[in-house]
Amino acid sequence: MDTATATATPTTTDIACGSHRNFHRREPEDLPPPSTAQHVIEYQPQHRYHPPMLLRSPNSTSPPPISSAYYLSTPHMLQALSAREHALPSFLRNHFSGRGVCRDWKLQISTPFFAHNQSLCFQGFSGLFFQSRGDPPYFISVDPISCGVPDPSLKFLPELVNIKASSNGLICCQGCTGDKAYYICNPVTRQWKKLPKTNADHGSDPAVVLVFEPSLLNFVADYKLVCAFPSIDFDDATEFEIYSSTEGSWKISGEICFASKKLVSRSGVYVDGVVYWQERHHGVVAFDLTKDRSQLIQGYHGATSTLGVMNGKLCSAYATGRSITVQVLSNVYSNTMQMHSNARTWKEETRFDLGNPVTAAGVGQERYMVLFAGCNVVLVQGGKTILCYDMKTKETKIISSAAENNARCVSCVNSLIYI
């Protein structure tokens, strides 16, 4: 059958492949002679987790399109979807409240692989959960447009809870009634799990640390919950109990940390296999999960300080008037060094003064308290105003002017990880 001959020889062939668009270029001298066969575009039936893709005709001389399955099954997917994952926080709240996205986007972001990859790629800082005693929590975002939470009061949980800790998108809460059970939840996906009853009495305000590290091989979160509680056998001593999601049970450690009178609740952080808590008036309690050993480290900077993570190291940030100092842990064995040694436990990372936004907000005479230090930002509260200092740009901005005084807060990261 005769077919019409094209009036111009194309120099570029564009082939659409699902939601991707691949451009295959051929130089004019490399083009084959015009074909007289009809090109028929065939659609592959849709798979549950794969978007539709275009297949070339059997008689086609153009290069075959790259299948979307290629991106979903190889490391190249990390590059192909990088732009989408970096843009993901900007539509998290809208997506989970109404799924108001196009069909291709919905198909792409509904795959378990996408959720898993997002938890690996996005481990920044989204905001803080605040909570006053007896009231539901609320969320203050560093960017209200891109980092919102669908249900900041956590009403999807079966009871009113107190937020205790967080780690890479997961939140640990404790019930306010009955046996005060622990819950692990994802505030973005609203998935949650109730943990079994503990073996020991953790007290009325337990110092717990949630440990969750996204893994390339695990699509479901494997996490640990570490609680430091007062010993009933020894005065001024601390014991430890650990819950493992892999084992599904609690286990009391044989380690006891002496001379640790009272730990600060919600002060704990996890850094490279070690959990740290602030200890009132003395320093920092460290518990190594691998070695099952504890240690008391010097360095307490008062109620205006907080522990955090900077460049993979434990840091302590504290306020002195309008001056904010951030120190990183340098040498945990400095107290065992010989006399006149230059070794120091803490090394100053940065120091800055709160600038013009403080005066503009009218909080120049308030007492300042560091709320969060990590991801190259430091959050400071003065009165009802919360300031965010960017350590890279050296800029300070106001993210809230209506925060409650003396409210407890826990940092949060938006994630799609499955529980």
Q: Are 24 and 63 in contact (CB under 8 A)?
A: yes
Q: Are 242 and 224 in contact (CB under 8 A)?
A: yes
Q: What is the pLDDT of residues 68-104, one digit of tens each?
A: 333 333 344 444 444 444 445 444 544 454 455 677 7
How is domain 119-412 classified at the CATH fold level?
A: Neuraminidase (2.120.10)
Cα 75 from Cα 373, distance rounded (Å): 33
CA-closest candidate to residue 293, choices 275, 277, 314: 275
Q: What is the pLDDT of residues 106-155, one digit of tens each?
A: 776 667 666 656 666 665 788 899 999 889 999 998 877 767 788 999 99
Cα 310 from Cα 306, distance rounded (Å): 12
Q: What is the pLDDT of residues 291-304, one digit of tens each?
A: 999 999 988 778 88
Q: What is the pLDDT of residues 21-40, one digit of tens each?
A: 444 444 444 545 554 444 44
Cα 116 from Cα 120, distance rounded (Å): 7
- Write the DSSP string, 168-224: TTEEEEEESSTT--EEEEETTTTEEEEPPPPSS---SS-EEEEEE---SS-SB--EE
Domain coordinates in residue numbering, the chain: 119-412
> 409: Cβ–Cβ under 8 A, 6 or more apart, which residues?
128, 129, 130, 131, 266, 371, 372
Q: How confident is residue 224, by pLDDT bands cut at 50, 70 and 90? A: very high
**Average pLDDT score over residue span 182-187:** 95
